[in-house]
Structure 1
Amino acid sequence: MSIEQGNLSYLNTPAVGPWGDYLKQIDRVAPYLGSLSRWIETLKRPKRVMMVDVPIKRDDGTITHFEGFSVVHNNSRGPGKGGIRYHPDVSMPEVMALSAWMTIKNAALNLPFGGAKGGIRFNPGEYSTGEVERITRRYTSEVNIVLGEQWIPAPDLGTSAREMAWLMDTFSMNRGHTDYAVVTGKPVSLGGSLGRQEGTGRGVYVVTCEAAAKLGIDVSQAKVAVQGFGNVGGIAAKLLHEHGAKIVAVQDHKATVFNDKGLDIPTLIRYASLNGSVAGFKEASETADRGAFWGVDCDIMIPAALEQQITRENAGSIRAQLVVEGANGPTTPEADDILSDKGVLVVPDVIANAGGVTVSYFEYSQAQQSYWLTDEEIGARLTRSMREAFGGVWAISKEKGISLRTAAFIVGCTRVLEARDMRGLYP
């Protein structure tokens, strides 16, 4: 089933959840857009929304149906770029919001992409490898009409290079030739880029160091709390640990562990990899109260799990001076206001976690040219891009006396709407 633009009247009703948060963010930036504000509805309406049925035959011979989603939010600046999420809580409003944040993020980093996102509502951990492969391939076939020219996917929560390889192969078989550029985050042996898996976490690390320096925080002496311990939170924690920071708290989907003297992050990463969680790590204390994480004594907090984690209920408990959003949409607008009143600096997701899509752009370009960069070249280009983007947003924030989030949205929305204005309307 494809829900085209004319049938999206429900978008005009009061929105809640991640999509509602995004709309509030757009409303906050509108007064700064000048004459471009006449195009503001462009940002509030996805270009194409699809919900697809994904049926597969299970290993036991039974048939199971899954709900799949694909949203191309905007392609004024290029094909939509954004990952595919496998999670039991995936929903259409969530995928819409994630696709819209990708539009802003790609523009804020000045990448030649629009925004898009996809997802399937299921827990991949409850299915065999063969079943996950069949789900991935069937989903790819169902959304085939938007892949490549309108949407270039990548890994996200619950997916990895493995799923991207299956997607590329399915798409290529349907086209009759191998297309390395249809998806990013692939295995290096299949046209993937060095540094892609670490890209988002490394980008979080870079902007954390940049923001900390602005606040006079010595990262090598800082206490850091990290929510989410996968490719984003885990890698950011590892790099900060190597820089001398003390990671005093880590929370994942099962447990929260603390050590005021600093957790041994390399050991914790190995432990979590073997056990599927940080739960039971003997070199730390543990609590069943997930809310206790937000009140931990720290200088820097990195929410790198899911959206809507920092809310009006827990924002007042945060003791950090700096919050760096490794996840997409982890802070609600109401919580943003509370943190601002407390004097907490928030580096927004559309800048902080843009390292992954930046390296995806490098991968996309390499695939088109069949010319591959070294790990050192990727790292240097990523660091430069993240620093330049943060520096530009910081300057606007100081010039106008506004939050970094609003400043980042000014940059992103202006670039998108300038492109929309220059292209005009067809027909």
Structure 2
Amino acid sequence: MPQPLSFVHPTPHSPWGTYLAQVDRVVPYLGHLARWAETLKRPKRALIVDIPIEMDDGRIEHFEGYRVQHNMSRGPGKGGVRYHPDVTLEEVMALSAWMSIKNAAVNLPYGGAKGGVRVDPKQLTHKELERMTRRYTSEIGLIIGPQQDIPAPDVNTNPQIMAWMMDTYSMNVGATATGVVTGKPIHLGGSLGRVKATGRGVFVTGREAARRLGLDLNGARVAVQGFGNVGSSAAELFAQAGGRIVAAQDHTGTIVNDKGLDIADLTAHVKATGGVGGFRGGEAADGESFWDVACDILVPAALEGQITAARAQRLKARIVLEGANGPTLPDADDILAERGVLVVPDVICNAGGVTVSYFEWVQDFSSFFWTEDEINVRLEKIMIGALKRIWDTADRHQITLRTATFAVACERILMAREERGLYP
């Protein structure tokens, strides 16, 4: 039997353990490609880097950074970079693997990659953040590039950080390389529509799922966990479609209002204060009570591992739209399936961001940029087509959408692996 990776010891509820369990479930549907399945359980490359920087007061601080390339059979690596005090190598491995699945699920010509730095960026000044970003970029510069591995924003990173990464890489190679990252500022080769793309993808897949279930979005109750870029954008689009956002939760608090939160006011409050806590347009609630809110659609758009088995037993939603990566644990997945709750998995639900990142990358190479309407139309077409292929697979095998998404994606990845062969 193949031995597990020696540098990580996954548990069933860890991100990497969750991913491995998801792969195991899809193997029976891979046919002759199952002989390659072990490929999916081993990252191609994992880089751990030390990031020493001089702080504003003259101290030297060290931060630990990662860049993991999970699979490159279908193209260059693609995946975000997150700055968070709880980042670990195992988490980044899982996120890179989910990027492999996500890119293949929507049939983008990418492999999966992910990066992270273990840091609380809120504790750094603007200049310290810039120095750390530039040093991190230089350290992982060995393995990134427009045709090798293309980072993007993730948790606690943004267009400014992407601009620093792009500039650092460009200075090191001696030429402006806009295509080395996506999610950049518009005037540095960024794409229109990128900021809200992930949330738009959540909405589009949610709208299609609601249509299949006969759920009218006009008046539908929506609860959103995580009110950052993804959660707020999805909430805005659901509200525009007539939905009522009855609960919002983030690290600052939980706000509920059965009549519906005013999303414009809530967004302004979050921008001004840094979180939903203290918003006066609803009632403050205990954090755990969020999982008891009566709703039709639940959007977990925070961090992984949020829907546990215990919470899955309590959920009152008909549809769960995974805006975050890995928010549902495998045993919770089983409970939701048994209860008839439809889960639209992260690897298709939140693929809008990487899809528009792909558009940005293509536009950078051609130096020809599309309008935001063109971006949104192309995004919807890809997302709807990908979801239909996945839903047809689920119906044919009588399996969940998650297993069907993995079946479609893993087949594409392993077919590429098989056709390329092994070298040397």
TM-score by length of 2: 0.98
Match of 1:208 in 2: 206
Instruction: Say whether the 8 Å CA contact 2:246–2:295 is kept in structure 1.
Output: yes
Match of 1:3 in 2: none
How far apart are the structure 1 equivalents of 2:353 and 2:29?
28
Match of 1:367 in 2: 364
Instruction: Say whether the 8 Å CA contact 2:10–2:17 is kept in structure 1.
Output: no
Match of 2:255 in 1: 257
Q: Deviations over 1:169-209 (max 9, x none)?
A: 00000000000111100001000000011100011010010
* Per-residue deviation, 1:363: 0.3
Match of 2:132 in 1: 135
4+ residue runs over 6 A deviation: none
* Per-residue deviation, 1:9: 3.1
How far apart are the structure 2 equivalents of 1:151 and 1:305?
25
Match of 1:191 in 2: 189
* Per-residue deviation, 1:7: 10
Q: Deviations over 1:212-263 (max 9, x none)?
A: 0101100112000000001100000001011110000000111000000000
Instruction: Say whether the 8 Å CA contact 1:86–1:120 is kept in structure 2.
Output: yes
* Per-residue deviation, 1:135: 0.5
Change (3 A) 1:330 1:16: closer
| Partner SS state of residue 20, structure 2 | helix
How far apart are the structure 2 equivalents of 1:168 and 1:403?
40
Instruction: Say whether the 8 Å CA contact 1:11–1:45 is kept in structure 2.
Output: no
What amino acid does structure 2 have at the position aligned with 1:74? N
What amino acid does structure 1 have at the position aligned with 2:196? E
Match of 2:287 in 1: 290
| Partner SS state of residue 313, structure 1 | helix
Change (3 A) 1:12 1:162: closer
Q: Aligned match of 1:29 in 26, 30, 34? A: 26
Note if 1:335 corresponds to 2:349. no
What amino acid does structure 1 have at the position aligned with 2:361? Y
Note if 1:72 corresponds to 2:37. no
Match of 1:271 in 2: 269
TM-score by length of 1: 0.97
* Per-residue deviation, 1:10: 4.4
How far apart are the structure 2 equivalents of 1:15 and 1:7?
14
What amino acid does structure 1 have at the position aligned with 2:199? G
How far apart are the structure 2 equivalents of 1:419 and 1:237?
37
Q: Deviations over 1:290-336 (max 9, x none)?
A: 11111100000000000000011211010000000000000010000
How far apart are the structure 2 equivalents of 1:155 and 1:322?
27
Unaligned segments of structure 1, at least 5 residues = 1-5
Change (3 A) 1:304 1:7: closer
* Per-residue deviation, 1:150: 2.6
Match of 1:56 in 2: 53
* Per-residue deviation, 1:12: 7.8
Instruction: Say whether the 8 Å CA contact 1:72–1:150 is kept in structure 2.
Output: no
* Per-residue deviation, 1:8: 3.7
What percent of counterpart residues are identical?
A: 58
How far apart are the structure 1 equivalents of 2:33 and 2:167?
41
Q: Aligned match of 2:221 in 198, 220, 223? A: 223
Unaligned segments of structure 2, at least 5 residues = none
How far apart are the structure 2 equivalents of 1:222 and 1:10?
46
Note if 1:346 corresponds to 2:343. yes
How far apart are the structure 1 equivalents of 2:98 and 2:5?
19
How far apart are the structure 2 equivalents of 1:7 and 1:334?
22
Q: Aligned match of 2:170 in 169, 172, 176? A: 172
The equivalences for 1:108-123 within 5 A come to: 108-123=105-120
How far apart are the structure 2 equivalents of 1:276 and 1:48?
36
| Partner SS state of residue 278, structure 2 | coil
What is the RMSD of the two structures over their aligned residues, measured on CA atoms?
1.2
* Per-residue deviation, 1:16: 4.8
